[in-house]
Structures are given as structure tokens and as C-alpha cells.
Amino acid sequence: MNPRHRLLAIVLACVLAVLASTQALAHWAARTAHDAMVQQRDHYLLHSLRTAAENYLAIGLNLEQMEALQTLIERERASFDQVLAIDVFAASGTLLYSTDPNALGSQVPPHWRQGLEHSTPWHTDGPAQRQLGVRFDNDLGQAAGGIVLTISTATPPLTLAQWKAHGQQALALLAAAALATLVAWAGVALGMRRLMAPYVRVARILQGQPPAPAQPPATPLEQAAHHTHASWAAARQRAQHRLHQLQELDDAD
């Protein structure tokens, strides 16, 4: 591999490294933004449902009289694709409202009731899903029941529009890589040409070639090259003169 090709390979490797780093940074930023949106969604659902339940209790309704809460959880469930179920249960462990009608009246898992001992939200992780829970209180500040969100953690399949967007992003990345490589190579070539220009002029001087048109003033290195070339020329003339003298002596003999 000649130096020019080696330099091109180095430039290409640097460009690809920069693009890969940029892509990784963009992926990290997108992932961070997605996680922030998930946290905001979870906080909104828990807070809004808890506030609604406590407001119903504050106006004198019993847990069994909150039919509007059933409508609310069904609407919220339909608004978010990754929310698999929303359940509301009493402190006794009986499931009063749920987006799964078949589960109404059943007993909730023991760890749901244990979550009522804490005023802060709790969560559990399971296969391809996680559950978030929070309790809601009555007017006396005691736990009246709890709300549990079951959320899917499975990655949904990509839609046709998403595949198209990924393809366009890949093409844009390849185009950016090609353009960046050309620009970087042009910049390196121009820089190397300017960097090597003094040495090219020195080589022309040492080879006895005529100077290039519009040549800038001679640098100390070029002056030394002129001096060296003059020394070589003088030494060549002396050698030719001595050789001519030797030939004359041979002819005289």
C-alpha cells in the first residue's frame, strides 16, 4: 500500500469513527428521551387516577359507587398502547374496577396489598411486562385502596413507515459518510500539498530544474539547496576538467 492509499484509509477510518460515534450519541439521546416520556406517562396515569379516586371519596362516594372510575380507566387504557391493564382494588384486596371485566370481584395478589403500606408508588418487573402501583387514601389519611398499571415492556414490531424511516436514515448516513470522506480527503490532499510544497521546490532545485512560475521568495532551506546544487555543479565541473586532463595525458603518451 503506497502512502497515498494509506493516508486515504486513515482518513476513511477517522470519518467512519466520527459517524459511528454520532450515531451512537443520537441513539442514546433518543433512548433517553423515550425513557423520559415513559416516566412522564406513568406519573401522569398514577397521579390522575389517584386524584380522581380520592376526589370521589371526598364527595362522599363509597368505593362501590365509583362507576365513573371504570369509565376513566377504560379511556386511559385505550389512550396508551403499551398499557395492558388498569386495576383498582379495595384495601380488603377485592378488585372493584378493571379494564379486564372477567377479573372483577377477584382477590388481588398479596404483594399488591403489601404496597398499600407505603404512600409512595411501587413497581414489580415480570416477563415482558412490569406493574406500577400506588395507593389512594380516604379523608382520614388511611389507605382506602390501590391502583395498579400493567405495562408491556416488549418491543413492538416495526411498522412499514418505521422501516421506511430507518431505510431513509441509513441512506442519509451513507451519503453523509461519502460526502464527509470526499471533503476530508480533499482537505488532507490540499494540506499535504501545501505542506510538501517547500520540499518539492527543494527537489526541483537539487535536480537543476527551472523554478516554477510565480515562485515565492526563497526560504533558508531553498537557499541551502541552491548552495548545495552549486557545490555539486562545481564539483562536477572539476571532475570533468580532471578527466579531460587525464585523457590529454593518455593521448600524449
Q: Does the domain formed by 3-156 have CATH 3.30.450.20?
A: yes
Q: What percent of the chain has pLDDT over 70?
A: 85
Q: Map out the domains of the chain as residue ranges.
A: 3-156, 161-252
3-state secondary structure of 135: strand
Q: Is the pLDDT of residue 208 over 90?
A: no
Residues 169-186 pLDDT 10s: 778 877 877 787 777 777
Which of 26-35, 81-90, 141-150 comes out lowest in average pLDDT?
A: 26-35
Of the pLDDT bands very low, low, confident and very high (cuts 50, 70, 90), residue 97 is very high
More confident residue, 199 or 55: 55
DSSP 4: H
Average pLDDT across the chain, whole number? 81
DSSP 185: H
pTM value is 0.57
Give pLDDT, residue 166.
Answer: 73
What Å distances lie between residue 55 and 58, 63, 112, CA to CA? Answer: 5, 11, 22
C-alpha R_g of the chain: 41
Give pLDDT, residue 98.
Answer: 92
Confirm if 76 and 48 have CB atoms less than 8 A apart. yes
Of the pLDDT bands very low, low, confident and very high (cuts 50, 70, 90), residue 35 is confident
User: What is the rounded distance in angstroms from the CA atom of residue 73 to the CA atom of residue 224?
Assistant: 89
Confirm if 149 and 124 have CB atoms less than 8 A apart. no
More confident residue, 68 or 222: 68
Q: Is the pLDDT of residue 214 over 60?
A: no
Of the pLDDT bands very low, low, confident and very high (cuts 50, 70, 90), residue 190 is confident
Q: Is the pLDDT of residue 91 over 80?
A: yes
Confirm if 153 and 99 have CB atoms less than 8 A apart. no
* Widest Cα–Cα separation across the chain: 142
